[in-house]
Structure 1
């Protein structure tokens, strides 16, 4: 067995991952576009940028509040059921926004309310999706499975925004209708996944203690802690996606179609990189290469911030996505392989919290900073910050530099679970 695709359960999982990302990325692009344009009808550009930041903040707050609970639930309940329920919630959000858009009843409060619900759904979906993948493939195929899963994720980021922008130009409610259909098919794919091994639940240990265990594991495992927090601070500072509507409308002046291309450019770079790793995974010097990739990510972000050329901006965003995917591939492989299955839901929840903090909260930071000092200065400062954080983390967490390969460690002494079948 040389490919995760030879396993039927993984194929269904991969399809659900792809379709849900297609739907979600198309939705979020249009939500951002609608928020900015509705705000611009009555607000200044700076105030409108702050509204984009508010969208990210609204999505982050429920994730922050629910992280201990979502990780514990992913380790205790059927992970397949959790993913189906959260996909259903996102389907309902897509249908509602489609109806409000079609009937011209859309408003900023409605968009913010749906963003909050999406934040809750993603809070529960992330740990369950992430912890389920290692249950579907043997450990030796896990790096390839992560690369293929990341490919599905990034292909969704490529095609979703492009489709969203094109469909919105044709009919404003069409992107939401497409998202609802894709979420429905994703639910069907998740329903086709058969029985998978699950860790035995320790029912004598208090649930709150189990939640704390996940945080304690991350805190004491220096490699896992360093990998998770590197993403948190680097992407938090250098994230520029929330400001793409500003660049598309006011700086590059390319409209909603150009916005779709700007949103897709980093995903193209990421998808091609993930596809390469699915066939030719890196084997040596993985930690050092990850740190170099984050530095490249910061440099490309700086160049994008300074660019006034649409082709150059697309190229910079392509490099941003490729470097970020390189880092994600190494980081997620190390985290999964250095975490016992009984802890993967809770550790995944902590990882998702930092990812969301770097993305949604980073979007909020970008929007608010752009309102204060301007979008160009905000993006450039973020790129410089990401480089500085990487150099600092290389010293604070030498375990990252010393990670040589993806050889699975011996976790026999770290909460090795018994397996049951569901």
Structure 2
């Protein structure tokens, strides 16, 4: 790696606040991944129902519909303070599951209830951390900073996949949750230690303590309208919704089913599959952090199409090592696609509306629980391969339609979304 490439990748760490945010985000992402795999395996083995597995995964995203409200709150009180409160809440909920498991009182119903509560908060985490990143990072470093920040999710998914299922298998869910609670607590403390951004862009004309209801509704509407109005922003949001509806279900909530029923493997095999996709995503994130001058909007189109092409192949594979290699390639394409969408939104959004814009971005994640629930039913009716092919093919065609509809914003070299 050249000296200039290393400097580009490490440049965000010259910002003191980022040196606290990055490890806090890393530990939170690690806890998310361990928790997803542990609970997914617990529900599948306790109930034997793929439908309940998809319901569990869907509950994690119940809060996507209120994500713009969290973004608005973050715009008013500060994104750093909101993230700290959210991560203390994760700690309390994880500690509840830990206590129930260690005392022998844990049951699938209790897990569903606690995950439903967590799901009201957790979907907003990624959007709020993105808005905080835009607050502390100079504009010229934003692409590199978003790419490096993305490695917190990718590396955590690798480590979480390999260690989380191992902890569960070796020590049980109670001790696995002891580790999860410690990760959440440490991440919350790091966020508290991080200094507030030097300038907070509150909603114009209102202080953080003056929250009349009409003002709240007006601010929320302003953020939602703004999120769809900028050059390329509508396309980025549509791609994010499409990916969550038709692509992520097969590398997210359904992965325990794929590991158990399609490849007939155990927790270790589930960990390998999840880690493979995350490894590819990490490769994509690091590559984009090192490469400058990328036409982001064109990359969004190309990477998303490649992602669906790899999913078409993945659903036909029945050999675990080949499936892992396919997931690595799909992970690379997925990372390039989702980073491109985030960069378009953050570049275009007005500073005082970033939280609400990223809240809208998180809201479109609601496509994931819809896709999961539909996939759970379709697999029972037409089988796994037919369902996967239907999802990937429809996603491929829909992405082509998005590229055609927004071609003026996504393809010309002079388009704002393609600015270097």
TM-score for both structures, normalised by structure 2: 0.90
Name the SS of the counterpart of 2:147 in structure 1.
helix
Report the Cα offset of residue 406 of structure 1: 7.7
* 1:53 has 2:54 as partner: yes
* 1:385 has 2:394 as partner: yes
Q: Distance in 2 between matches of 1:124 and 1:270?
A: 21
Report the Cα offset of residue 263 of structure 1: 1.2
Aligned to 2:255: 244
* 1:176 has 2:184 as partner: no
Q: Distance in 1 between matches of 2:158 and 2:178?
A: 18
Task: State whether residues 59 and 120 of structure 1, in contact with CA within 8 Å, keep that contact through their aligned partners in structure 2.
Answer: yes
Structure 1 residues 115 and 230, CA gap change in structure 2 (3 angstroms): same
Aligned to 1:402: 412
* 1:128 has 2:128 as partner: yes
1:104-125 CA-to-partner distances (Å, cap 9, x unmatched) read 3222211111211221121443
* 1:218 has 2:214 as partner: no
Unaligned runs of 5+ in 1: 41-47, 410-422
Aligned to 2:210: none
Task: State whether residues 228 and 331 of structure 1, in contact with CA within 8 Å, keep that contact through their aligned partners in structure 2.
Answer: yes
| 1:369 corresponds to which of 364, 378, 389 | 378
Structure 1 residues 96 and 396, CA gap change in structure 2 (3 angstroms): same
Aligned to 1:99: 99
Structure 1 residues 312 and 387, CA gap change in structure 2 (3 angstroms): same
Report the Cα offset of residue 149 of structure 1: 0.4
Name the SS of the counterpart of 2:200 in structure 1.
strand
Structure 1 residues 200 and 245, CA gap change in structure 2 (3 angstroms): closer
Task: State whether residues 304 and 316 of structure 1, in contact with CA within 8 Å, keep that contact through their aligned partners in structure 2.
Answer: yes
Aligned to 1:166: 166
Aligned to 1:201: 203
More displaced 10-residue stretch of structure 1: 264-273 or 188-197 = 188-197
Report the Cα offset of residue 18 of structure 1: 0.5
Name the SS of the counterpart of 2:253 in structure 1.
helix
1:377-399 CA-to-partner distances (Å, cap 9, x unmatched) read 22221111121111111111111
Structure 1 residues 377 and 407, CA gap change in structure 2 (3 angstroms): closer
Aligned to 1:300: 310
* 1:28 has 2:36 as partner: yes
* 1:4 has 2:12 as partner: yes
Task: State whether residues 222 and 397 of structure 1, in contact with CA within 8 Å, keep that contact through their aligned partners in structure 2.
Answer: no
Task: State whether residues 203 and 353 of structure 2, in contact with CA within 8 Å, keep that contact through their aligned partners in structure 1.
Answer: no
Report the Cα offset of residue 403 of structure 1: 5.9
Aligned to 2:114: 114
Task: State whether residues 333 and 406 of structure 1, in contact with CA within 8 Å, keep that contact through their aligned partners in structure 2.
Answer: no
Name the SS of the counterpart of 1:242 in structure 2.
coil
Q: Distance in 1 between matches of 2:390 and 2:246?
A: 8
Task: State whether residues 296 and 418 of structure 2, in contact with CA within 8 Å, keep that contact through their aligned partners in structure 1.
Answer: no
Report the Cα offset of residue 369 of structure 1: 2.4
Unaligned runs of 5+ in 2: 1-6, 207-213
| 1:272 corresponds to which of 264, 283, 288 | 283
Report the Cα offset of residue 361 of structure 1: 3.4
C-alpha RMSD of the superposition: 2.0
Name the SS of the counterpart of 1:198 in structure 2.
coil
Question: Between Structure 1 and Structure 2, how many residues are aligned?
Answer: 399
Task: State whether residues 151 and 271 of structure 1, in contact with CA within 8 Å, keep that contact through their aligned partners in structure 2.
Answer: yes
Aligned to 2:23: 15
* 1:255 has 2:266 as partner: yes
